[in-house]
Amino acid sequence: MNYIRKIKIRNNSKASCTKSGLIPIKALNIFVKLLRFFRLYNAVYVTVLFISNVLSRRKLLRFYSQYVNEGDLCFDIGANIGNRIGVFLKLGATVVAVEPQNSCMRKLLKKYGNNNKVFLVHKALGSREGKGNLILSNSHTVSSMSKEWIDCVRDSDMFFTSTSAFQWHENVTVPVTTLDKLIRKYGSPAVCKIDVEGFEYQVIKGLSQPAEMISFEFTPTPKLINQSIESIKHLSAIGNVQFNYSFGESMILALPEWVDSSKICNILLSIPYKTAFSGDIYARFIA
């Protein structure tokens, strides 16, 4: 079924945002437009990002403590500068952190290079091993291997980037491996977090076996939602799996109960594509 056709009949998901503890989408979009009008959103975005990073550790610990136990293995795919690594370590896990950007890897090596519970992999992930093109940004948080994602984000309200706030200025060739290869080398993770700025489907296609729980980012634009749905279909073909989701960095599951692939797809298609929020989809494999 071509899910992209359903996007034309998206319903308002304001209730879901409210349950997740977020500002209603309409009010947030008005606020964003005001910041842009007064040319303040760059400064506000950087400030909010810094404060968010400082305050998010407790929230992350509370969330991941439900799924990570002492001695578990966690994958951090798209580790960036490592805000999840410290959380997983605090919970007693061993961490495999994958990051292709040189600038981010230097910071990770400086902080975790001598930690025997952290394995740093200076590569990207994809559907197969080889080489890939990474498009670098002046902000390391939005570098991506997906030109389609960059184009969609530029034209949307996502991440406050629909103006020239961020620049994508350089293409670099990076080595690519797969989730299957990582599992073969390090073992199967209790949690596999994937945040690769629009390249999630390609990463998930590199997996052919269940993992306990996988999370991956979704972007509510028409083209990219369809990729998220393809990711859900791929995971559903691997094994018995249930889904949930959250908005932004709330780390609060929007649904009181986990649902099947059909229901989560319908929910994703009901999210307004002009929202200023991305989110995460959680897949939990059932034995």
Whether the per-residue pLDDT at 68 is higher than 90: the answer is: yes
Asked if 241 and 203 count as a contact pair (C-beta separation under 8 A), the reply is no
H-run or E-run covering 109: helix 102-112
Residue at 212 is within a domain: yes
CATH number at residue 222: 3.40.50.150
Residue at 134 is within a domain: no
More reliable by pLDDT, 36 or 103: 103
Residue at 165 is within a domain: no
Number of Cβ within 10 Å of residue 240's Cβ equals 11
Buried/exposed 90-104: b ≥16 CB within 10 Å, e otherwise: ebebbbbbbbbbeeb
> Which three-class secondary structure string do you get for 159-170?
HHCCCCCCCEEE
Characterize the bridge pairing of strands 213-218 and 279-285: antiparallel
DSSP-assigned beta bridge partners for residue 144: 135
Segment 185-210 shows an average pLDDT of 97
Segment 241-260 shows an average pLDDT of 94
Number of domains in the chain: 1
Band (273; pLDDT cuts 50, 70, 90): low
Number of Cβ within 10 Å of residue 161's Cβ equals 21
DSSP string covering 2-64: -GGGGGGGPPP-HHHHHHTT---HHHHHHHHHHHHHTT-HHHHHHHHHHHHHHHHHHHHHHHH
Identify the pLDDT of residue 50. 73
Which residue spans within the chain are E strands per DSSP? 73-77, 94-98, 118-121, 124-125, 130-137, 168-177, 191-194, 213-218, 241-247, 279-285
d(CA 125, CA 129) in angstroms, rounded, equals: 8
More reliable by pLDDT, 266 or 28: 266
Residue at 56 is within a domain: yes
Q: How many residues does the chain have?
A: 287
Residue at 11 is within a domain: yes
Q: Whose structure tokens read 């995460």?
A: 280
d(CA 210, CA 165) in angstroms, rounded, equals: 39
Whether the per-residue pLDDT at 21 is higher than 70: the answer is: no
Identify the pLDDT of residue 86. 96
Q: Which domain holds residue 226?
A: 3-128+177-285
Residue at 136 is within a domain: no
Identify the pLDDT of residue 7. 42
Band (26; pLDDT cuts 50, 70, 90): low
Segment 218-227 shows an average pLDDT of 86
d(CA 144, CA 44) in angstroms, rounded, equals: 23
HSE on the CB side for 174, CA within 13 Å?
A: 24
More reliable by pLDDT, 154 or 28: 154
Identify the pLDDT of residue 172. 97
Whether the per-residue pLDDT at 239 is higher than 90: the answer is: yes
Identify the pLDDT of residue 13. 40
Segment 70-96 shows an average pLDDT of 97
Identify the pLDDT of residue 278. 82
Residue at 95 is within a domain: yes
Residue at 7 is within a domain: yes
Q: Whose structure tokens read 């977020």?
A: 22
Report which of 228, 184, 217, 205 is spatially closest to residue 96, judged by C-alpha positions: 184
Band (153; pLDDT cuts 50, 70, 90): confident
Identify the pLDDT of residue 154. 76
Asked if 190 and 213 count as a contact pair (C-beta separation under 8 A), the reply is yes
d(CA 268, CA 281) in angstroms, rounded, equals: 9
As separate numbers, helices (DSSP H) first and strands (DSSP E) second, the chain gives: 10, 10
Give residues with Cβ within 8 angstroms of 116, minimum separation 6.
none
Which residue spans within 48-113 are E strands per DSSP? 73-77, 94-98
Q: Mean pLDDT across the chain, nearest whole number?
A: 86
